[in-house]
Amino acid sequence: MKKKSRLSVESYIEGVLKGDRMVLSRAITLVESSLLSDQLLAEKVMEGVLPYSGKSIRIGVTGVPGVGKSTFIESFGKILLDKGYKLAVLAIDPSSPKSGGSILGDKTRMEELSADKRAYIRPSPAGASLGGVSARTRESMILCEAAGHDVILIETVGVGQSEIAVKGMVDFFLLLMLAGAGDELQGIKKGIIEMCDALIINKADGENVEAAKRAKREYANALHLFPAKESGWVPQVKTCSALEKSGLEAAWEMIIEFKDKMTANGYLEFNRQEQRANWMQEHVRYLIENNFLHNPKVKSRMGEILPGIKSGKYSAIAKARELVDLFLINR
């Protein structure tokens, strides 16, 4: 099969700004590429679309596997579409540490939303990235904004404490929880609760309604124990049923309230400025590590010393310094 040729920088930018879904998808594929030639091209595309981004509300949706993130996003997303919003969903799937393969099943779990042309759903593999988000989620988000999407939902993998990295790229951090799944206050890491802007108990339907109400009270009491947020926002606890589509309107009203207050007090822009600075610093670390690992001298020497490291013959710390010194000399 003939490989699809890359577009010109101008064609990528023009297509994205016109809202061309095919070009948008190709642009995201470009920024996800590990090829140096693609990365250099992607940087120029990002520079071109950046002035047209930033007008959306960015929402991170997280929670343990089985909490119903995909069902919540589909029901919640359909409400937003009915309100006239243009929605983009960046759904991150876990990748195999051995094969690098990814299930990418979110699109099949959001059948109705996927079929609606007003919504753009992009499943991406998390790869080796920590934080439950793809290494290129930020770029994908900016491309979607430039294409005219005014609500961006980022669904994270939902695998552990490091997942709170998504907080560093969104405006509103939403944590989904279940009631009756054990001791609620012990069932999730303190760090995630402390960083969330809202906690919603999902699946509050049928026999779970009363349990959800109890969990809501417990979480509300627990949140009062945390220090006040710099933003001045007081995190809220709500219940919903994505299946029965109840409580979703209230969730959106809460997010709008958050956006209005954070815009008025200047925190929304302040937070985004901090995120941009952190984004650059993270990419600097990525580039340094990538160049280090692909340096021919470093790769050769690493192959020579690894057996000794594994057997305990060499000090891992001393050899790490040796490799870094070698890289600095031969960079």
Q: What is the pLDDT of residue 125?
A: 62
- Torsion angle in degrees (nearest 10) through CA of 262, 268, 271, 277: -170
- Measured between alpha carbons, how far is 143 from 25 in angstroms, rounded to an integer? 9
Task: Give domain status of residue 271, yes or no.
Answer: no
Share of the chain above pLDDT 70, in %: 84
81 with 161, same domain?
A: yes
Contact present, 195 and 164 (Cβ < 8 Å): yes
Last residue of a domain, one of 211, 240, 264: 264
Average pLDDT, the chain: 85
137 with 207, same domain?
A: yes
Q: Coil, strand or helix: which one is 148?
A: coil
List all residues 6 or more positions away from 196 whose beta carbon is below 8 Å from its beta carbon: 62, 173, 174, 175, 235
Last residue of a domain, one of 14, 36, 52: 52
Mean pLDDT lowest among 70-74, 157-161, 204-208, 259-263 = 157-161
**pTM above the 0.85 mark?**
yes
Task: Give domain status of residue 273, yes or no.
Answer: no
The enclosing domain of 236 has a CATH number of 3.40.50.300
The enclosing domain of 10 has a CATH number of 1.20.5.170
- Measured between alpha carbons, how far is 75 from 111 in angstroms, rounded to an integer? 11
Q: What is the pLDDT of residue 36?
A: 87
Q: Is the pLDDT of residue 309 over 80?
A: yes
Task: Give domain status of residue 34, yes or no.
Answer: yes
176 with 287, same domain?
A: no
- Measured between alpha carbons, how far is 184 from 36 in angstroms, rounded to an integer? 46
Nearest to 187 by CA among 298, 103, 65, 281: 65
Residue appearing with tokens 């409400």: 79
Task: Give domain status of residue 274, yes or no.
Answer: no
Q: What is the DSSP string of 267-327?
A: HHHHHHHHHHHHHHHHHHHHHHHHHHHT-HHHHHHHHHHHHHHHHTSS-HHHHHHHHHHHH
Mean pLDDT lowest among 52-56, 90-94, 241-245, 292-296 = 90-94
Provide mean pLDDT across the span 281-287.
Answer: 87
Task: Give domain status of residue 270, yes or no.
Answer: no
Q: Coil, strand or helix: which one is 286?
A: helix
Cα-atom radius of gyration of the chain, to the nearest Å? 22
What tokens were used for 220?
Answer: 């509300």
Helix (H) or strand (E) holding 153: strand 151-155
289 with 224, same domain?
A: no
Q: What is the DSSP string of 231-247?
A: T----EEEE-BTTTTBS
CA distances from 298 to 51, 215, 289, 314 (A): 39, 53, 12, 17
218 with 86, same domain?
A: yes
**What letters, b where the CB count within 10 A reaches 16 and e where it falls short, cover 8-35?**
eeeebbebbbeebeebbebbbbbbbeee
List all residues 6 or more positions away from 184 whose beta carbon is below 8 Å from its beta carbon: 177, 215, 218, 219
Q: What is the pLDDT of residue 160?
A: 53
Per the structure, the count of domains in the chain is 3
67 with 152, same domain?
A: yes
Task: Give domain status of residue 269, yes or no.
Answer: no
227 with 193, same domain?
A: yes
Q: Give 95's DSSP letter.
A: B
What tokens were used for 43?
Answer: 């940087």
228 with 313, same domain?
A: no
Chain segment 36-49, per-residue pLDDT in tens:
899 999 999 999 99
Which residue range is the domain that position 307 belongs to? 280-330
Q: What is the pLDDT of residue 168?
A: 85
86 with 25, same domain?
A: no
Q: What is the pLDDT of residue 126?
A: 53
Q: Is the pLDDT of residue 253 over 90?
A: yes
At 184, the pLDDT band (50, 70, 90 cuts) reads very low
Other beta carbons within 10 angstroms of residue 175's beta carbon come to 25
Last residue of a domain, one of 264, 299, 318: 264
Nearest to 238 by CA among 207, 203, 206, 195: 203
At 99, the pLDDT band (50, 70, 90 cuts) reads very low
253 with 323, same domain?
A: no
200 with 139, same domain?
A: yes
Task: Give domain status of residue 185, yes or no.
Answer: yes
258 with 312, same domain?
A: no
Nearest to 13 by CA among 55, 54, 42: 42
Q: Is the pLDDT of residue 185 over 60?
A: no
Q: What is the pLDDT of residue 188?
A: 53
Q: Is the pLDDT of residue 278 over 80?
A: yes
**What letters, b where the CB count within 10 A reaches 16 and e where it falls short, cover 95-104?**
beeeeeebeb
Contact present, 210 and 218 (Cβ < 8 Å): no
Q: Is the pLDDT of residue 191 over 80?
A: no
- Measured between alpha carbons, how far is 212 from 201 in angstroms, rounded to an integer? 6
**What letters, b where the CB count within 10 A reaches 16 and e where it falls short, cover 196-224?**
bbbbbbbbbbeebeebbeebbebbeebbe
Task: Give domain status of residue 275, yes or no.
Answer: no
